[in-house]
Chain A
Amino acid sequence: MAREECKAMLDALNKTTACYHHLVLTVGGSADSQNLREELQKTRQKARELAVTTGARLTVALRNRGLAAEDRAEFERLWVAFSGCLDILEADMQRALALGAAFPLHTPLRPLVRTGVTGDSSRVAARALSARSLSHQAERDFDVSDLKELEREVLQVGEMINDMEMKVNVPRWTVQAQQTAGAELLSSNSMGASSVGAVSVEEPSRSCNPSKALAATLFSAVLLAAVALALSVVKL
């Protein structure tokens, strides 16, 4: 089904955009390196490819006049999500360009901002490219040559967005989203449990403690009860 295909491609694009956003966050900070720039380049290339194919599919589907009403509504929803995703991607690419130019890596003129982020981002890039792992070594002057390409790509993405808006006319006010407010909480049980540790406060110990403390008290209470029973049995 065309719809499922489009949905799957949109999910992939969404994943890549999210990973790209996450990588751009660290540009200019202490985790910035040539490797990061190369990961950025690979991620955005993947994102662009996905965007082109998804866009083509959706355009074909929406330009098809003989589409049923609910099908059309479904495709319009996908279209709105797709164009929003592209907007986010474009904005991130622009920021990456500005930041990359402002914080060049090859010259020591401008030191990187010490943000406290020091880890490797290869796993994020691997997730974006749907690969197991990513091991590479970028050349020394990668970022300089990359910047020019990035400029061109930003323009290309802009043109693509423009083209698509010209080809397909989807009025935003008629689209009704499927997700209700708070929909993200329903299917996020698996995420919630594991992300307790990632609560955004600098006191993770405090957040872990209540549950641990409760478990500890329960256990000790049970233990005491068992000991008391054993003693009473012994006394008897």
Chain B
Amino acid sequence: MCGGCRGLQRNTPQAVRDSSDLTAVTAAGPLRPGGHTLAAWDYRRPGTLVPLGPSPGEPLFAGSAPGPSPRPLGPLVPWKMERMVVRMQDPDQGVRTRSQRLLITVIPHAVTGSDVVEWLVRKLCISEEEALHLGSLLAQHGYIYPLREPRSLALRPDETPYRFQTPYFWTSTLWPAAELDYAIYLTKKNIQRQGALVTHEKEHYDQLHKKINHTWDLVVMQAREQLRAAKQRRKGDRLVIACQEQTYWLVNRPPPGVPNVLEQGPERGSNNANQVQMSLDFYKREIEWSRKALGRTRVKSSICLEAFLTFSHQRGPHDPILAGCLPSNPWVTDDDAYWAMNAPTVAMPTKLRVERWGFSFRELLDDPMGRAHFMDFLQKEFSAENLSFWEACEELRFGGQAQIPTLVDTVYQQFLAPGAAHWVNIDSRTMERTLEGLHQPHRYVLDDAQLHIYMLMKKDSYPRFMKSDMYQGLLAEAVIPLETKRRVFPFMRKPRLSSPSPALPPTSGEPSAAGSAAGGDEES
């Protein structure tokens, strides 16, 4: 994190960043030598408590103790690789090292690729292929780096020399590489190479210069000083340290085209906060859940799909996007005749609409025009009270809470009382239950009765309506809107009215005229 961000973070009051909290933690845990002692907030990952000071022999990073520190699970975790690298360092059991001889300087501790592979095969008792794979993973994560071609982090099982990375630069999830550090590194490289940076590094340099411009003074100062400090060392050491840093940044800021090994996919990397304990309770719950899942009703996919096919086939011509809408698509031609014709209540319904009433009873009832015509039909058949009762029940279900008692009373008086004006024919059992429920009226007290009447209408009146002369007459009269003629001269388009801005109060007359003039002038 750049210094600026951390500064801002510090300005916000964070309860746990009080010094008092930290001193409490220090006081609690006595500073035992070499034990898990102090825990402090890791600023770069707010919300994590990191034990500072793992005991020797334990993995360095990513907290070995199960606790608040998030421990990334997965086959490739840094601490596993660290452990392996540390084992390799054993003077007796570790990997054999040679010396690297440059022109004048001799640098020790070089290992060959074949040595590494052979050690892995011997120590872990694995096949050579697997050892090669493990070794190349180590190289990709930057734990060993090649000496001849420092830019390609790959392990070759031959005499190519490698060297181990210093623990400071080990891939650790606790300290992600900061932008300030990268800026300092690039500036150092700029100084050394006299401005000849690689393309992607140059881009990063420019980006960083814009991003952390406020600390650029510090970047330049630190870069110069770090180079001067490095000059106080022997030449061999200087080379080694420079190589180490280069490898670190190759891993953390890979050049374009090289996959970033530190990236973890969306599935990986997220540690399940509630680590499930594999206990008896857990398994009991799993068994119960599975049993319930078995008992759920299922429909065969063949049946579902058939139903879906028939639905699509039936509805296809009615879909305005799939089958085109007549007279014309308002969004395309700015002509809202389509909406005018398909308004909820209109004198002449379109043919498609009337056809839809025949699909199901629900369709008919949902359409206000359909419902009105159905009501007319029922009145002719002297069974209009069914539909009225159904409508009253709908109103009860979806109406306001305060109106429920009065509404229930009205419904009772009109439809359910023995000598009511519009008495509905409900079977005795449902009637008994409803009348009992009316003593404590609530929203759904008339549900049973409503369902009974609905099924009655659906099975009895609806088919008759479909076959009736009234419906057939409607179907014959229904209008099929004509498609608007495509204008031959496209520039003689209807002038577009500028839509009124919702912020302004609607004014008539002048703005629309001005808008139409403007619309006619511009030919977009």
Which chain A residues lie closer than 8 Å to B410 at the CB level?
A: none
B237 & A31 in contact (Cβ 8 Å cutoff): yes
Is the CB of B57 closer than 8 A to any CB of chain A? yes
- A-contact 0/1 string along B234-275, CB 8 Å cutoff: 111111111111100000000000000000000000000000
Is the CB of B17 closer than 8 A to any CB of chain A? yes
User: In the bound complex, how far is the Cα of B244 from the Cα of A24, in angstroms?
Assistant: 13
Look across to chain B and name the residue whose beta carbon is closest to the beta carbon of A24: B168
Is the CB of B399 closer than 8 A to any CB of chain A? no
B109 & A202 in contact (Cβ 8 Å cutoff): no
User: In the bound complex, how far is the Cα of B7 from the Cα of A194, in angstroms?
Assistant: 37
Q: Given A17, A91, A124, A169, which contacts B222 in the complex, CB threshold below 8 Å?
A: A17
User: In the bound complex, how far is the Cα of B147 from the Cα of A148, in angstroms?
Assistant: 38
Q: Given A87, A104, A200, which contacts B242 in the complex, CB threshold below 8 Å?
A: A200
B191 & A115 in contact (Cβ 8 Å cutoff): no
Distance to closest chain B CB from A16 (angstroms): 9
A127 & B192 in contact (Cβ 8 Å cutoff): no
Does more than half of chain B's interface fall in helix, strand or loop, or is it mixed? helix
Look across to chain B and name the residue whose beta carbon is closest to the beta carbon of A189: B194
A195 & B34 in contact (Cβ 8 Å cutoff): no
Which chain B residues lie closer than 8 Å to A45 at the CB level?
A: none
Is the CB of A232 closer than 8 A to any CB of chain B? no
Which chain B residues lie closer than 8 Å to A104 at the CB level?
A: 34, 56
A202 & B102 in contact (Cβ 8 Å cutoff): yes
B215 & A81 in contact (Cβ 8 Å cutoff): yes
Is the CB of B165 closer than 8 A to any CB of chain A? yes
A91 & B175 in contact (Cβ 8 Å cutoff): yes
Distance to closest chain B CB from A64 (angstroms): 21
Distance to closest chain A CB from B486 (angstroms): 57
Is the CB of B279 closer than 8 A to any CB of chain A? no
Which chain A residues lie closer than 8 Å to B166 at the CB level?
A: 25-26, 28-29, 113, 115, 117
Which chain A residues lie closer than 8 Å to B58 at the CB level?
A: 102
**Interfacial residues of chain B within 86-125, with CB under 8 A of chain A in the complex:** 86, 89-91, 94, 97, 100, 102-103, 107-110
Look across to chain A and name the residue whose beta carbon is closest to the beta carbon of B58: A102
Distance to closest chain A CB from B430 (angstroms): 73
Is the CB of A137 closer than 8 A to any CB of chain B? no
- A-contact 0/1 string along B190-215, CB 8 Å cutoff: 11111100000000011001000111
Given contacts A28-B168, A115-B109, A116-B163, contact A151 B53 (CB under 8 A): yes
Q: How many residues of A contact B (CB 8 A)?
A: 91
A88 & B191 in contact (Cβ 8 Å cutoff): no
Q: Given B19, B206, B234, which contacts A162 in the complex, CB threshold below 8 Å?
A: B19
Given contacts A115-B244, A172-B214, contact A127 B191 (CB under 8 A): no
Distance to closest chain B CB from A197 (angstroms): 7
Distance to closest chain B CB from A136 (angstroms): 16
Distance to closest chain A CB from B85 (angstroms): 7
Given contacts A162-B17, A198-B239, A202-B147, contact A101 B229 (CB under 8 A): no
Distance to closest chain B CB from A78 (angstroms): 8
Which residue, of B6, B90, B94, B100, has the highest number of chain A Cβ atoms within 10 A? B6
B60 & A198 in contact (Cβ 8 Å cutoff): no
Given contacts A116-B240, A179-B220, A201-B150, contact A19 B229 (CB under 8 A): yes
Which chain A residues lie closer than 8 Å to B169 at the CB level?
A: 25
Is the CB of B353 closer than 8 A to any CB of chain A? no
Distance to closest chain A CB from B58 (angstroms): 8
- A-contact 0/1 string along B55-98, CB 8 Å cutoff: 11110110000000000000000000000011001110010010
User: In the bound complex, how far is the Cα of B390 from the Cα of A43, in angstroms?
Assistant: 89
Cβ contacts A to B, 12 pairs, < 8 Å: A28-B167, A98-B60, A114-B108, A116-B110, A116-B163, A117-B240, A118-B236, A126-B232, A155-B23, A199-B192, A200-B150, A200-B192
Please list the residues of chain A having a beta carbon within 8 angstroms of any beta carbon in chain B: 11, 14-15, 17-19, 21-22, 24-31, 77, 80-81, 83-85, 87-88, 91, 94-95, 97-99, 101-104, 107, 109-121, 123-124, 126-128, 144, 147-148, 151, 154-155, 158-159, 161-162, 165, 169-170, 172-173, 175-179, 181-185, 188, 191-192, 194-195, 197-202, 204-205
The 3 closest A-B pairs by CB, nearest first: A84-B3, A200-B242, A18-B225
